[in-house]
Protein backbone atom coordinates (compact mmCIF):
# COMPACT_ATOMS: atom_id res chain seq x y z
CA UNK A 1 0.00 0.00 0.00
CA UNK A 2 1.11 3.60 -0.59
CA UNK A 3 -0.23 6.63 1.22
CA UNK A 4 -0.45 10.23 0.09
CA UNK A 5 0.39 12.75 2.78
CA UNK A 6 -1.35 16.14 2.98
CA UNK A 7 1.49 17.77 1.09
CA UNK A 8 1.26 15.27 -1.76
CA UNK A 9 4.41 13.23 -1.15
CA UNK A 10 4.02 9.50 -1.47
CA UNK A 11 5.62 7.19 1.05
CA UNK A 12 5.63 3.40 1.08
CA UNK A 13 3.77 1.77 3.95
CA UNK A 14 4.37 -1.81 4.94
CA UNK A 15 2.72 -4.18 7.38
CA UNK A 16 -0.82 -3.05 6.50
CA UNK A 17 -3.42 -3.88 9.13
CA UNK A 18 -1.05 -5.12 11.80
CA UNK A 19 -1.73 -2.35 14.35
CA UNK A 20 -5.45 -2.18 15.19
CA UNK A 21 -7.27 1.10 14.78
CA UNK A 22 -7.48 3.16 18.00
CA UNK A 23 -5.29 0.74 19.90
CA UNK A 24 -5.33 0.94 23.69
CA UNK A 25 -1.64 0.09 23.91
CA UNK A 26 1.02 2.76 23.82
CA UNK A 27 2.24 3.59 20.33
CA UNK A 28 5.85 4.46 19.58
CA UNK A 29 7.48 5.86 16.46
CA UNK A 30 11.08 4.71 16.06
CA UNK A 31 13.09 6.30 13.26
CA UNK A 32 16.02 4.47 11.74
CA UNK A 33 14.32 1.32 12.99
CA UNK A 34 15.46 -1.15 10.34
CA UNK A 35 18.95 -1.88 11.65
CA UNK A 36 21.44 -1.40 14.45
CA UNK A 37 20.40 0.63 17.48
CA UNK A 38 16.99 1.47 16.03
CA UNK A 39 16.17 -2.18 15.41
CA UNK A 40 17.24 -3.12 18.94
CA UNK A 41 15.09 -0.38 20.45
CA UNK A 42 12.08 -1.22 18.27
CA UNK A 43 12.28 -4.89 19.26
CA UNK A 44 12.72 -3.93 22.91
CA UNK A 45 9.58 -1.80 22.83
CA UNK A 46 7.65 -4.61 21.13
CA UNK A 47 8.79 -7.03 23.82
CA UNK A 48 7.50 -4.53 26.37
CA UNK A 49 4.01 -4.62 24.88
CA UNK A 50 4.25 -1.30 23.03
CA UNK A 51 3.06 -0.97 19.44
CA UNK A 52 5.78 0.32 17.14
CA UNK A 53 5.77 2.21 13.86
CA UNK A 54 9.24 1.49 12.49
CA UNK A 55 10.44 4.22 10.13
CA UNK A 56 13.32 3.75 7.72
CA UNK A 57 14.24 4.28 4.07
CA UNK A 58 15.54 0.72 3.53
CA UNK A 59 12.64 -1.50 2.48
CA UNK A 60 14.58 -4.77 2.59
CA UNK A 61 15.78 -4.18 6.14
CA UNK A 62 12.27 -3.14 7.17
CA UNK A 63 11.04 -6.49 5.88
CA UNK A 64 13.64 -8.21 8.05
CA UNK A 65 12.44 -6.18 11.02
CA UNK A 66 8.87 -7.33 10.38
CA UNK A 67 10.03 -10.94 10.51
CA UNK A 68 11.96 -10.39 13.74
CA UNK A 69 9.06 -8.45 15.28
CA UNK A 70 6.49 -11.19 14.72
CA UNK A 71 5.01 -12.78 17.82
CA UNK A 72 6.01 -9.97 20.20
CA UNK A 73 3.65 -8.51 22.79
CA UNK A 74 3.35 -5.29 20.81
CA UNK A 75 2.33 -4.94 17.17
CA UNK A 76 4.61 -3.62 14.43
CA UNK A 77 4.01 -1.73 11.24
CA UNK A 78 6.67 -0.13 9.09
CA UNK A 79 6.80 3.12 7.14
CA UNK A 80 9.37 3.57 4.39
CA UNK A 81 10.40 7.20 3.96
CA UNK A 82 13.61 9.21 3.69
CA UNK A 83 13.69 11.69 6.58
CA UNK A 84 15.85 14.04 4.50
CA UNK A 85 12.61 14.74 2.58
CA UNK A 86 10.70 17.57 4.33
CA UNK A 87 7.40 15.89 3.42
CA UNK A 88 8.32 12.70 5.29
CA UNK A 89 7.22 13.97 8.70
CA UNK A 90 3.59 14.52 7.69
CA UNK A 91 3.60 11.14 5.97
CA UNK A 92 4.71 9.35 9.15
CA UNK A 93 2.26 11.30 11.30
CA UNK A 94 -0.69 10.59 9.01
CA UNK A 95 0.05 6.88 8.76
CA UNK A 96 0.41 6.38 12.50
CA UNK A 97 -2.65 8.41 13.48
CA UNK A 98 -4.81 6.83 10.78
CA UNK A 99 -3.97 3.33 11.93
CA UNK A 100 -3.58 3.66 15.70
CA UNK A 101 -5.27 6.92 16.69
CA UNK A 102 -2.50 7.93 19.09
CA UNK A 103 1.21 8.68 19.47
CA UNK A 104 2.74 8.23 22.91
CA UNK A 105 6.45 7.88 22.21
CA UNK A 106 8.90 9.26 19.66
CA UNK A 107 12.37 7.74 19.45
CA UNK A 108 14.56 9.90 17.21
CA UNK A 109 17.26 7.47 16.14
CA UNK A 110 17.75 7.83 12.37
CA UNK A 111 21.20 9.08 11.52
CA UNK A 112 24.12 8.85 9.13
CA UNK A 113 27.79 8.52 9.98
CA UNK A 114 30.95 9.67 8.32
CA UNK A 115 31.74 6.19 7.13
CA UNK A 116 29.21 6.93 4.40
CA UNK A 117 31.57 9.63 3.14
CA UNK A 118 34.95 8.05 3.86
CA UNK A 119 35.08 4.38 4.84
CA UNK A 120 38.53 4.70 6.43
CA UNK A 121 37.47 7.73 8.48
CA UNK A 122 39.21 6.57 11.66
CA UNK A 123 42.59 6.21 9.96
CA UNK A 124 42.12 9.03 7.48
CA UNK A 125 40.01 11.70 9.22
CA UNK A 126 37.76 13.94 7.17
CA UNK A 127 38.89 17.48 7.97
CA UNK A 128 36.38 20.30 7.92
CA UNK A 129 37.94 22.02 4.91
CA UNK A 130 37.48 18.85 2.85
CA UNK A 131 33.72 18.54 3.23
CA UNK A 132 31.26 19.74 0.60
CA UNK A 133 28.15 21.87 1.13
CA UNK A 134 26.08 18.92 -0.09
CA UNK A 135 27.56 16.60 2.56
CA UNK A 136 26.97 19.15 5.30
CA UNK A 137 23.38 19.66 4.15
CA UNK A 138 22.66 15.93 4.16
CA UNK A 139 24.11 15.37 7.63
CA UNK A 140 22.23 18.30 9.11
CA UNK A 141 19.00 17.22 7.41
CA UNK A 142 19.10 13.67 8.81
CA UNK A 143 20.94 14.06 12.12
CA UNK A 144 19.64 17.45 13.28
CA UNK A 145 16.62 18.63 11.33
CA UNK A 146 14.75 15.31 11.23
CA UNK A 147 14.63 14.81 15.03
CA UNK A 148 13.36 18.35 15.52
CA UNK A 149 10.74 18.11 12.78
CA UNK A 150 9.52 14.72 13.97
CA UNK A 151 9.15 16.15 17.48
CA UNK A 152 7.37 19.19 16.07
CA UNK A 153 4.92 16.90 14.28
CA UNK A 154 4.01 14.66 17.22
CA UNK A 155 4.12 17.07 20.17
CA UNK A 156 0.69 18.70 19.64
CA UNK A 157 -0.93 15.25 19.88
CA UNK A 158 1.04 14.45 23.03
CA UNK A 159 0.10 17.78 24.58
CA UNK A 160 -3.60 17.11 24.00
CA UNK A 161 -3.19 13.74 25.72
CA UNK A 162 -1.23 15.31 28.60
CA UNK A 163 1.48 12.68 28.26
CA UNK A 164 4.31 11.83 25.89
CA UNK A 165 7.93 10.79 25.64
CA UNK A 166 10.54 12.12 23.22
CA UNK A 167 13.86 10.28 23.27
CA UNK A 168 16.65 11.40 20.95
CA UNK A 169 19.77 9.38 20.21
CA UNK A 170 22.76 11.69 19.83
CA UNK A 171 26.38 10.69 20.51
CA UNK A 172 29.04 10.91 23.18
CA UNK A 173 29.96 14.49 24.02
CA UNK A 174 33.60 13.75 23.18
CA UNK A 175 32.63 12.70 19.66
CA UNK A 176 30.86 16.00 19.11
CA UNK A 177 34.15 17.91 19.34
CA UNK A 178 36.61 15.29 18.08
CA UNK A 179 38.93 16.29 15.27
CA UNK A 180 37.81 14.98 11.90
CA UNK A 181 34.16 14.58 12.95
CA UNK A 182 32.62 17.89 11.96
CA UNK A 183 29.82 16.34 9.87
CA UNK A 184 28.69 13.81 12.48
CA UNK A 185 29.72 15.53 15.70
CA UNK A 186 28.35 18.98 14.96
CA UNK A 187 25.05 17.71 13.57
CA UNK A 188 24.52 15.45 16.59
CA UNK A 189 25.43 18.35 18.91
CA UNK A 190 22.68 20.37 17.25
CA UNK A 191 20.21 17.54 17.91
CA UNK A 192 21.22 17.44 21.57
CA UNK A 193 20.88 21.20 22.00
CA UNK A 194 17.46 21.05 20.34
CA UNK A 195 16.36 18.32 22.73
CA UNK A 196 17.46 20.46 25.68
CA UNK A 197 15.29 23.29 24.35
CA UNK A 198 12.38 20.86 23.92
CA UNK A 199 12.68 19.80 27.56
CA UNK A 200 12.58 23.43 28.68
CA UNK A 201 9.63 24.28 26.44
CA UNK A 202 7.70 21.20 27.59
CA UNK A 203 8.24 21.68 31.34
CA UNK A 204 5.05 20.96 33.27
CA UNK A 205 3.11 19.59 30.28
CA UNK A 206 3.46 15.86 30.96
CA UNK A 207 5.60 15.46 27.84
CA UNK A 208 9.29 14.76 28.46
CA UNK A 209 12.38 15.06 26.27
CA UNK A 210 15.60 13.19 26.99
CA UNK A 211 18.74 11.97 25.24
CA UNK A 212 19.90 8.35 25.18
CA UNK A 213 23.30 7.34 23.79
CA UNK A 214 25.19 4.04 23.75
CA UNK A 215 28.25 5.54 25.44
CA UNK A 216 30.82 4.18 23.02
CA UNK A 217 31.40 2.73 19.57
CA UNK A 218 28.55 0.34 18.80
CA UNK A 219 28.43 -2.58 16.38
CA UNK A 220 26.12 -1.13 13.73
CA UNK A 221 26.24 -0.36 10.02
CA UNK A 222 27.28 3.21 10.81
CA UNK A 223 30.77 1.81 11.54
CA UNK A 224 32.13 0.43 8.24
CA UNK A 225 33.65 -3.03 8.01
CA UNK A 226 37.37 -2.79 8.60
CA UNK A 227 37.11 0.33 10.76
CA UNK A 228 37.68 -1.81 13.85
CA UNK A 229 39.88 -4.91 13.96
CA UNK A 230 37.64 -6.82 16.38
CA UNK A 231 33.97 -5.88 16.20
CA UNK A 232 33.18 -8.20 19.12
CA UNK A 233 34.76 -5.60 21.42
CA UNK A 234 32.23 -2.97 20.39
CA UNK A 235 29.07 -2.23 22.37
CA UNK A 236 25.98 -4.21 21.43
CA UNK A 237 22.92 -2.30 20.16
CA UNK A 238 20.67 -4.23 22.58
CA UNK A 239 22.04 -2.26 25.56
CA UNK A 240 19.75 0.59 24.50
CA UNK A 241 16.51 -1.28 25.27
CA UNK A 242 16.53 -1.35 29.12
CA UNK A 243 17.05 2.42 29.61
CA UNK A 244 14.56 3.19 26.84
CA UNK A 245 11.86 1.03 28.41
CA UNK A 246 12.37 2.86 31.69
CA UNK A 247 12.28 6.28 30.05
CA UNK A 248 8.89 5.57 28.47
CA UNK A 249 7.43 4.08 31.66
CA UNK A 250 5.24 5.82 34.23
CA UNK A 251 8.15 5.68 36.67
CA UNK A 252 10.01 8.22 34.52
CA UNK A 253 7.04 10.56 34.10
CA UNK A 254 8.88 13.52 35.64
CA UNK A 255 12.32 12.80 34.15
CA UNK A 256 13.14 15.35 31.47
CA UNK A 257 16.17 17.24 30.23
CA UNK A 258 18.56 14.37 30.99
CA UNK A 259 21.01 12.27 28.97
CA UNK A 260 21.64 8.61 29.69
CA UNK A 261 24.58 6.39 28.76
CA UNK A 262 23.35 2.88 28.00
CA UNK A 263 26.83 1.45 28.57
CA UNK A 264 26.61 2.55 32.21
CA UNK A 265 23.09 1.17 32.76
CA UNK A 266 23.32 -1.63 35.32
CA UNK A 267 20.49 -4.09 34.67
CA UNK A 268 21.10 -5.72 38.07
CA UNK A 269 19.86 -2.56 39.80
CA UNK A 270 16.28 -1.33 40.12
CA UNK A 271 15.67 0.90 37.06
CA UNK A 272 15.53 4.15 39.01
CA UNK A 273 18.91 3.40 40.56
CA UNK A 274 20.35 2.40 37.19
CA UNK A 275 19.08 5.70 35.79
CA UNK A 276 20.73 7.67 38.58
CA UNK A 277 24.01 5.90 37.93
CA UNK A 278 23.96 6.37 34.16
CA UNK A 279 22.29 9.78 33.86
CA UNK A 280 23.57 13.36 33.68
CA UNK A 281 22.19 16.75 32.65
CA UNK A 282 21.38 17.02 28.97
CA UNK A 283 23.78 18.82 26.63
CA UNK A 284 26.03 21.25 28.50
CA UNK A 285 23.55 22.53 31.09
CA UNK A 286 25.82 21.56 34.00
CA UNK A 287 28.38 24.19 32.91
CA UNK A 288 26.10 26.69 31.19
CA UNK A 289 25.74 30.28 32.40
CA UNK A 290 22.80 32.29 31.18
CA UNK A 291 23.56 35.52 29.32
CA UNK A 292 23.10 38.93 30.92
CA UNK A 293 19.92 40.46 29.55
CA UNK A 294 18.17 43.77 30.20
CA UNK A 295 14.84 43.82 32.04
Catalytic residues: 184
Of 150, 165, 253, which Cα lies nearest the Cα of 211? 165
- Spatial distance between the Cα atoms of 257 and 201, rounded to a whole number of angstroms: 10
Dihedral, CA of residue 211, residue 136, residue 173 and residue 33, to nearest 10: 40
Q: What are phi and psi of 147, to 5 degrees?
A: -60, -40
How far apart are the two ends of the chain, measured CA to CA in Å? 56
Q: In what order do the strands lie in the sheet with 10-14?
A: 2-4, 10-14, 76-80, 51-56, 27-31, 105-108, 164-168, 207-213, 258-261, 279-281
Q: What are phi and psi of 30, to 5 degrees?
A: -120, 115
- Spatial distance between the Cα atoms of 236 and 82, rounded to a whole number of angstroms: 25
Cα 290 from chain centroid (whole Å): 28
Bridge partners of residue 54, in order along the sequence: 30, 78
- Spatial distance between the Cα atoms of 211 and 192, rounded to a whole number of angstroms: 7
Please state, as a whole number, how many other Cβ atoms lie within 10 Å of the Cβ of residue 17: 10
Dihedral, CA of residue 78, residue 187, residue 220 and residue 28, to nearest 10: -30
Amino acid sequence: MRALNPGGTIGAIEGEGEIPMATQRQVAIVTGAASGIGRAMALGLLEGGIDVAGVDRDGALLADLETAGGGKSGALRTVRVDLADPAAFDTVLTVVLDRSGRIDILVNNAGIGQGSVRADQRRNPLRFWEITPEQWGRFVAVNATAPLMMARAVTPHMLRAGRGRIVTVTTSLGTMIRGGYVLYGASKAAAEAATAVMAADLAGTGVTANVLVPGGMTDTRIVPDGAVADRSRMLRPEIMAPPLLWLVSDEAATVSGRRFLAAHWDVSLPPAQAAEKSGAPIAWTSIATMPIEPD
